[in-house]
Amino acid sequence: MPIANAFVEQNLQSDYRFNLVAGYCPSCHMFQLLEQPNPDQMFHESYPFFTGLSSTMRAHFKEMSEDHIPDAVSRNEESFIIEIGCNDGTFLQNVMDRGMNHLGVDPSKNVVEKAKEKGVNAIDEFYSFEVSKKISERYPSAIRIFASNVICHIPDLHDFLRGIKHNLALEGEFIFEEPYLLSMLKKISYDQLYDEHVYMFSLMSIQKLAEMHNLVLADAIPQETHGGSMRYVLKHADQSEKLSQRGLDLLNEEIKFGLDKLDSYQTFALNCENRKRELVALLKKLKDGNKVVGGYAATSKSTTVLNYCGIGKDLISFISDSTPEKIGTVAPGSYIPIISHEAMKTLKPDYLVLFAWNHEKEILNKEQILTKNGIKWIKFVPEVGFIHEQ
């Protein structure tokens, strides 16, 4: 498997590949990749993903800041907020607008520059215990530490949580959200598995991990983002906190589904194989019918789909995207050209594979004219078929 976000020109494409293999640990319930490229191969000065490109995510993070930072906290001048993996500052902008002391941390220099342009206070570092000590030399303890779709990127979770414990105020809350393991197994959304996603978390695995670090899982809140995510709230254990009723109910659902049973994962593996066969068969049928098939949104997830299914330019002629940095590049491993949405419209495709299926509502709303003009949208999660089946 190539690096998921290695959207670069054809002549710059590297032949680096790694084994994308996932495993499950029956004792700590962690679901994770067994092999992983070096972080600096994935996160660097030209990381091509920008949170703020999605209006859905902008609204989502505004709501997150309002839900978890009450006025009592925002009005208190002592209050200090940290966001790990702040990307282009989409979340922290809301904190800054409320006049709060804050700091963003992100290993990708280019996205941090975008955050700074917004006036957000941010540093380009890979958060760790060492970095947490540098932060505490200059800043007070944080009443809130936030992280979204980031913790799953961090190989050394133990060092990371030592840092969190060091920066989190005694009565503070560490709030993070990630694609949810149970959603992935139910939807067979295997494209959530790629190099950046070292872990796919569940309440079971987060509760175990927290106990290992004298932290406590106090609450868990399901989220619709990214095809089904879970937001976790961790606190210092000595705050005599225990898991909310909502969290207990979610844990029971995990046990009922069999998230602690190996055969649940073996069934997932078989389901992935079926989805692969079905998608390739559909695309081959369309090709035999001389249909023009393109892709919509050059997502990180698409790299897993295309390379796992062995789909190349013969089955999907191009992929369109709204990210300027991705246009003019090729998709990692399949080398399918990435073009702008405008250019895609001039090519008059008959079918579009929706790779950003987690943004279906926003995209289909945006592209109603395409649908009216007869374009058919292909989906592959939770099953292979057409959106708006005629």
Q: Which of 350, 264, 363, 315 is nearest to 26 (CA)?
A: 264
Residues 130-149 that bind ligand DWN (CB under 6 A): 149
Interface stretch with ligand DWN, choices 22-30, 70-78, 166-174, 351-359 (CB under 6 A): 351-359
363 touches ligand DWN (CB under 6 A): yes
Determine whether 93 is exposed, middle or buried from the number of CB atoms within 10 Å of its CB (0-12, 13-18, 19+): buried
Give rounded-to-5 percent helix, strand, coil for the chain.
Answer: 40, 20, 35
CB of 31 to ligand DWN, least distance (A): 16
301 touches ligand DWN (CB under 6 A): yes
85 or 247, CB closer to ligand DWN?
A: 85
DSSP 250-274: HHHHHHHHTTT-HHHHHHHHHHHHH
CB of 299 to ligand DWN, least distance (A): 3
Q: Contact letters (x/-) for ligand DWN, 152-191, by CB under 6 A?
A: ----------------------------------------
Strand partners, 233: 175, 219
Residues 28-57 that bind ligand DWN (CB under 6 A): 49, 53-54
322 touches ligand DWN (CB under 6 A): yes
366 touches ligand DWN (CB under 6 A): yes
Helix then strand count (H, E) for the chain reads 15, 16
CB of 312 to ligand DWN, least distance (A): 20
Rounded to a whole number of angstroms, the CA Rg of the chain reads: 21
Intra-chain end-to-end CA distance of the chain, in Å: 36
CB of 111 to ligand DWN, least distance (A): 11
Residues 102-131 that bind ligand DWN (CB under 6 A): none
49 or 61, CB closer to ligand DWN?
A: 49
Q: Coil, helix or strand for 234?
A: strand
Strand partners, 232: 176, 220
Q: 113: which residues sit within 8 A by CB, 6+ positions away?
A: none
- For ligand DWN, the binding residues (CB under 6 A) are 49, 53-54, 149, 196, 297-301, 321-323, 326, 356, 358-359, 362-363, 366
